[in-house]
Amino acid sequence: MQDRIAIVGGGIGGLTAALALIRHGIAVDVYEQAPELKELGAGVQISSNGTRVLYALGLGPTIDKVGVIVSGKEIRLWSTGQTWKLFDLGAVSVERYGFPYMMFHRGDLHAALLDAIRREKPEAIHLSRKCMGVTQDDAGVSIQFEQGESARADLVIGADGVQSRVRLATFGADQPEFTGIVAWRGLIPRENVPAGIKLDVGTNWVGPGGHVVHYPVRGGSLLNFVGLLERDDWRVESWTVQGTKDEFANDFKNWNPLIHECIRRVDVPYKWALFARPPMPAWSKGRVTLLGDACHSMLPMLAQGAVMALEDGYVLARSIAMYGVKSEALQHYEAARRERANRAVSGSAENAKRFHNPDMAHAAGAEAYVTREWQEDKVKQRYEWLFTYDATTAPV
């Protein structure tokens, strides 16, 4: 019988690994807890190191239709709205890194991966399979599901996100620490976006104790609007809890009127408490490994969590194709990926401090701070190592 790989979790990371394995002709099953596979109504930015993976998987024609290529990124001051250029994207990203920086509705990116898998191996996706634990022996791994049934595989990949059951079963309980930051998110239809908010760039409003990010998604028909604020009284780590616009607005009291216009116009405001986890000393044990948020969840301030999951999935499939369906392949994958992913975790935490610096309370201090912190060479140092990485050729 052909060796089989089981992936627990059908998010962006799990589906990327599945599609890449299918392309190598390796048998794979994806077990997803949800009864239906769909992503949240939220945006995700995918830098060139991530779009490189999507194009390598043959998804170019699909993502070109639904993704948005913005011309660049800007920084704006929370109070006055003063604007500084952060970096050029658009053609510059393609020229410099070979691939575009793209903004997606998460549902569109997820659907691109899912449709490709369903076209090639529709039987690979198993829904309503909530993993409760994994146990391994010399011959393979058993996965136990909530409804009592189980599955068997030669290798198991835990792609089950920040509250990973595979991680829990393999490495024990983790120690999430509340960061003191709460994230708000919502979408605004293009026709309701206030004048004064640009639709052709990605924008980061920065201020003392908070920041706001917005960018266009779904071919430019929607604006993704996210606000992050230091606040101690909300600690639920879930993407699906609704808040109210009044509470959202209250968190951004005294911010620029344009921010309040946007808050009034978001469809549904959702809130999520951000937790940090210390870097894991190992991701793999025997026949089980982890990828994406299951082993390196990070704050969203570098916009690299999903990008790292894309890179992980692609490199893991290459490693298995190279070394076989054996635990040795998992060790090679981990050695290729762990340091880079952990660097992105710490880079995201550093950016949190930078985006929320108290020096920005007053416009005069802000001018000096922004000019110093977002100098071209400093920005390059923070992002170049991310954007230039090539998951399709990186040594494994």
Q: Which residues bind ligand FAD (CB under 6 A)?
A: 8-14, 31-34, 44-45, 130-131, 159-161, 165, 183, 185, 226, 272, 292-294, 300, 303-307, 309
Looking at the Cβ atoms of 105 and 318, the one nearer to ligand FAD is: 105
Active site residue 215: yes
Residues 165 and 131 sit within 8 Å (Cβ to Cβ):
yes
Min dist. Cβ of residue 378 to ligand FAD (A): 21
Return the percent helix, strand and coil in the chain, to nearest 5: 40, 25, 35
Residues 337 and 311 sit within 8 Å (Cβ to Cβ):
yes
Exposed / middle / buried, residue 78 (Cβ in 10 Å: 0-12, 13-18, 19+): buried
Min dist. Cβ of residue 362 to ligand FAD (A): 28
List, in order, residues 6 or more apart from 245 with CB less than 8 Å away: 263, 264, 266, 269
Min dist. Cβ of residue 224 to ligand FAD (A): 9
The one-letter amino acid code at 127 reads L
How far is the C-alpha of 194 from the C-alpha of 188, rounded, in Å? 10
Min dist. Cβ of residue 306 to ligand FAD (A): 3
The torsion angles phi and psi of 393, rounded to 5 degrees, stand at: -130, -5
Min dist. Cβ of residue 367 to ligand FAD (A): 27
- 151 forms beta bridges with 143
DSSP state of 323: H
Out of 31, 97, 215, 383, pick the active-site residue: 215
Looking at the Cβ atoms of 46 and 329, the one nearer to ligand FAD is: 46
CA distances from 137 to 8, 56, 101, 345 (A): 18, 35, 43, 32
Min dist. Cβ of residue 213 to ligand FAD (A): 8
Residues 54 and 60 sit within 8 Å (Cβ to Cβ):
yes
Looking at the Cβ atoms of 165 and 338, the one nearer to ligand FAD is: 165
How far is the C-alpha of 387 from the C-alpha of 134, rounded, in Å? 35
**What size, in residues, is the chain?**
396
The one-letter amino acid code at 22 reads I
What are the structure tokens assigned to 28, written together? 């794979």
Report the catalytic residues. Answer: 215
